[in-house]
Amino acid sequence: MSAPTAKTPWKNDDCGKILCIEGFCRKNGNTQALLNKFLSDYVGFAIKRYNTFEKNPKPCIGCDFCSKDGACRFRDLDDFFYFFETADIVVFASPVYNLSFPAPLKALLDRLQPYYNGFFSDERKQRIKKRRNAYFLATAGQDGALGFDIMERQLKNIFSVTNIKYMGGSLVGNTDNTTPKCEL
């Protein structure tokens, strides 16, 4: 599989590059606030935001194409793969939904299957040459600890086949006590 490219690459290649993988739908919600706080420590970095609710990646259909070809048959994530492979830091920012990731982010995670196939079919070699660091930020309406553990476990599996070092996570729970309700 050749190195991925993007139509509009990083604006500045000389500074640190952060890819934010956003699992939240609510702009200015709890998770956005947590992510903004995290990013305030990274002034001067190039920041790319990939909001999974806006991008709505196709779900993996288990067609097994990637086990033969190495790449996904769907092309909607071509730009994403470029940013994912060339960032210095990857931040996952997500609310807990039913002890897991909201559906669009779960779809994205399932679409990383080519990296699993590449890793296990190629004597466990990392296909992504660049080592990156990752953080996981989560919010939950209640205590959230169990959901956070489950989600962190899923991410650690993915990090093991995508040449990522997990730097740690942060959970803000009990947001039900503070979140304003949506007007319908």
Ligand X SMILES: Cc1cc2nc3c(=O)[nH]c(=O)nc-3n(C[C@H](O)[C@H](O)[C@H](O)COP(=O)(O)O)c2cc1C
Asked if 52 is part of the footprint of ligand X (rule: CB under 6 A), the reply reads no
Residue 144 found at the interface with ligand X (CB under 6 A)? yes
Nearer to ligand X, 146 or 167 (CB): 146
Answer whether 141's CB lies under 8 Å from 102's CB: no
Contact status: 142 vs ligand X (CB under 6 A): yes
Helix crossing, 145-161 with 103-110: angle to 10°?
A: 20
Q: Which of residues 60-89 bind ligand X (CB under 6 A)?
A: none
112: left (phi over 0), alpha (psi -120 to 50) or beta: alpha
Residue 29 is a binding residue for ligand X (CB under 6 A): yes
Residue type, 172: V
On the CB side of 19, CA atoms within 13 Å amount to: 20
Contact between 26 and ligand X by CB under 6 A: the answer reads yes
Under the binding rule (CB under 6 A), the answer on residue 159 touching ligand X is no
If binding is defined by CB under 6 A, does position 9 make contact with ligand X? Answer: no
CB of 9 to ligand X, least distance (A): 29
Residue 94: phi and psi, rounded to 5, are -150, 145
The one-letter amino acid code at 116 reads Y
- Does residue 46 bind ligand X (CB under 6 A)? no
Residues contributing to the site for ligand X (CB under 6 A): 24, 26, 29-32, 95-99, 139-142, 144, 147, 175, 179
